[in-house]
Structure 1
Amino acid sequence: MRAALALVMLAGFFVLAVALAGGLTAIAIWRFTIGDVEGGAWMLVLAVALGGPALWATVRAIFARPEPSGFPLARDTHPDLWRHVDELAGIAGTRAPDDVRLVDGANASVWERRGVRYLELGLPLVAGLSVGELRSVLAHELGHYGGGHTQLSSMTYRAKIALQLSVSQDRVFGLLSAWAHLYALVAASESRDHERFADEVAVAAAGRDAAQRALLRIGPVGEAWADYLTSYVSLAVMAGRTPPLLEGFRCYLNHPRRVHELRRLESVLAELEPTSVFDSHPPIRDRVAAMALLTSSDVPIDERPGWTLLTGVSAEAASRLLDVSGPSATWEELVPLSGPAQVRRYAEALRHAGRVSKVGSSLSDVLAALERGELLKLTGRPVDASLTDEQVREAAVDTVTELLGCAVADQLVTANRAVLELNWGGLFVLRLPDGAAVYPDDLVAPAVRDANQVPEVRVRLQAIGVDGL
């Protein structure tokens, strides 16, 4: 019923736009014919302002077509993956997709165009989930096929584009925006039912434990992927070299510190996930709780890494996905090429924050500000007003710790008192002339978190050769 209502509202949106434009244009023509030029001009302006955006957006959306992206995973080169896909499609009571693609982003999705079924699978999920968890993700997406959720994908794709374009241009009375929000409310409710159905398929196909673990892990893997791109892949881009990207992410995920962080994030992200009536997916915590009530067969979880299903993916494919180019290089070779520039950039960001906040731009100034309890002066007000005071402080601690650690590294490297080495648990290790390893983040973190620790941290920094403190 809600699906039909959503389709009716989609049609009604464009009927409203045509009616507004046509009706107001007719009134404008009538006013012109009776000699009321000013009144006709005003009616014409209203017609363009209210109906024009939707009409123009509709024309553009008619010619818009979803196109497959990413790296194609053919049956003959990835037989293990396709074996699981075919098996799960049978369990879901549907036919398998015709085209499976590896894409960037910690997500998976399915869609159809002219009867051709596409499945897009995010590289971070393949690298970060076990085979059992990946089976749950695949079963969930195939459940959308089995539930008939993708049959109208082409039409709804164009309709959503038209809505977005219309609303972005509707800046006069907001009438079209209000209608679009009402449609989003109805469509989101229907979409949430689709997700619950697909979750039931995932539990039936992959087992309850794997399905719950996959749901809880996707968010942290997405966070890890974003940090990996920012902190590590950026080194490759700066150096103009191509390291083994998939292997690098596996090294990142397997570091003991990252393992601990991801486990902690599972419960944190699930608990703090915001909710809205416009959300197309129920909150993760609600989905996990609902899965606990479902009947599940005793399916053993395949703990093998998910990437073992993609042995045919070449290094060139991953580099194309991430837009990384240049001669091959190891991760260790990247550090002397772009590491100093990386820490210098972060150090300059801290100096800029010190200047803007007027606490001072030197390391001594920043430490003095921390000793006075002025951590939040360095980071300023958060953009997200919904964050709690504790969340704001934690974000500030993480940010300043990273920037301050890089500022320390920058000074020592520039003065030839240390060299940088790769560290999958925190970007860089500082290797001192006597061979000692210093982890900058761990060194400065106590001072950032606790003002009383600043004097002791200052002494430690002086001991390894940091000047001007």
Structure 2
Amino acid sequence: MLAGYLALLVAIAAGVITAIFALFNATWASLVLIFILLASFGLFLLRPKTTAQLQQDAWINRKLHPGLWQMVDEVAQVAETRSPDEIRLGPEMRATLSEQGGFRSLVVGLPLLGGLSTSELRAVTGHELAHFETVSPLEARLPRVVLFPYRLITKSQSRARAEHAEEVAVAAAGEEVAKAALMKLPALASVWHDFRLSSARVSYQYRTPDLVQRFNAFLSTPQGTEALAKAGVAEWAEHGGPAWELLSEPDKSLPYLQRQLFEELGVARDEKTV
């Protein structure tokens, strides 16, 4: 399918250039071709950098944190895909899976460990693993300028992929938990953004390394309930303990990992205060 799509793009480009050559001359055709090449190259250079390019994530050792690794391995089996070669904790409220040169890396947002329960994290991880598995390696490496029209053409397949990812999430954690987790994510991301900004504004003595724990506690307060409601979550159901319980000795390991990601708790460049 991908090879056919690329062939279609080449054929369209060739047709346009041929038409210009027929209507005008070779000079105009050459100029159009140069313009297309320069525009494509410029868009490729200006494409948004990935999370892995923008910051250093905290690496999770399999021997030190077997609980988190075991959960990911189990969910990978449910998704009928291979486990990642590494797990890292990132600073954002999301989970992402990438692959380069056959090396697969799963980045689990550290805020997820405070915003979700262990079972809800299973659902989110399963959703990500299943969604990635349905994408071909070539498609995963396509530049955005090519990927966008490709996905428009294969919209029906994308819908099937999304449905498959939801099915895996349900199989990994149960229907109620999976629906709750996937529904919460956008709201959690919004509330976490504001919570982190407010933490970054206070004096240094309050910038303690228990940021994720305090966020978890905040969600159960009246202020947290109000913030979630504004973000679109009317009811907040609990499905077990916080996901950080998957870490070994979380009281010790969680502050250490938080220091690696939020050492100064400063406001990010794209999160400037008004």
Smaller-chain TM-score bracket: 0.7 to 0.9
SS in 2 for 1:247: helix
CA gap 1:191/1:66 in 2 versus in 1, 3 angstroms:
farther
Residue 212 (structure 1) aligned with residue 179 (structure 2): yes
Residue matched to 2:134:
149
Given candidates 61, 65, 68, the residue that maps to 1:81 is: 68
- 1:10 positional shift: 3.8
RMSD: 3.8
Residue matched to 2:9:
13
Residue matched to 1:200:
167
Letter matched to residue 262 of structure 1: L
- 1:89 positional shift: 2.2
Segments of structure 2 that go 5 or more residues without pairing to the other structure are: 267-271
CA gap 1:48/1:94 in 2 versus in 1, 3 angstroms:
closer
- 1:149-205, Cα deviation, whole Å (9 max, x unpaired): 2442xx3244233438xxxxxxxxxxxxxxx54x33224432221121011111122
CA gap 1:97/1:24 in 2 versus in 1, 3 angstroms:
same
Residue matched to 1:246:
212
- 1:259 positional shift: 2.7
Residue matched to 1:318:
258
Bigger RCO of structures 1 and 2 (CA < 8 A, at least 6 apart)? 2
CA gap 1:184/1:90 in 2 versus in 1, 3 angstroms:
closer
1:136, 1:202 within 8 Å by CA — same for their partners in 2? Answer: yes
1:21, 1:48 within 8 Å by CA — same for their partners in 2? Answer: no
1:109, 1:120 within 8 Å by CA — same for their partners in 2? Answer: yes
TM-score between both structures, scaled by the size of structure 1: 0.47
Residue 133 (structure 1) aligned with residue 135 (structure 2): no
2:191, 2:227 within 8 Å by CA — same for their partners in 1? Answer: no
SS in 1 for 2:33: helix
Residue matched to 1:403:
none
Residue matched to 2:269:
none
CA gap 1:107/1:51 in 2 versus in 1, 3 angstroms:
same
SS in 2 for 1:229: helix
- 1:250 positional shift: 2.5
CA gap 1:24/1:113 in 2 versus in 1, 3 angstroms:
same
Q: Please identify the structure whose Cα radius of gyration is greater.
A: 1
Letter matched to residue 160 of structure 1: P
* Percentage of matched positions with identical amino acids: 29
Letter matched to residue 240 of structure 2: E
Residue matched to 2:35:
49
Residue 93 (structure 1) aligned with residue 87 (structure 2): no
- 1:135 positional shift: 1.3
Give the alignment of 1:325-404 within 5 angstroms. none
Segments of structure 1 that go 5 or more residues without pairing to the other structure are: 32-39, 165-179, 270-300, 327-344, 350-469
- 1:83 positional shift: 1.8
Residue matched to 2:246:
309
CA gap 1:46/1:126 in 2 versus in 1, 3 angstroms:
same
What count of residue pairs does the alignment treat as equivalent?
259
TM-score between both structures, scaled by the size of structure 2: 0.75
2:191, 2:231 within 8 Å by CA — same for their partners in 1? Answer: no
Between the aligned partners of 1:135 and 1:158, the Cα distance in structure 2 is: 26
- 1:97 positional shift: 1.5
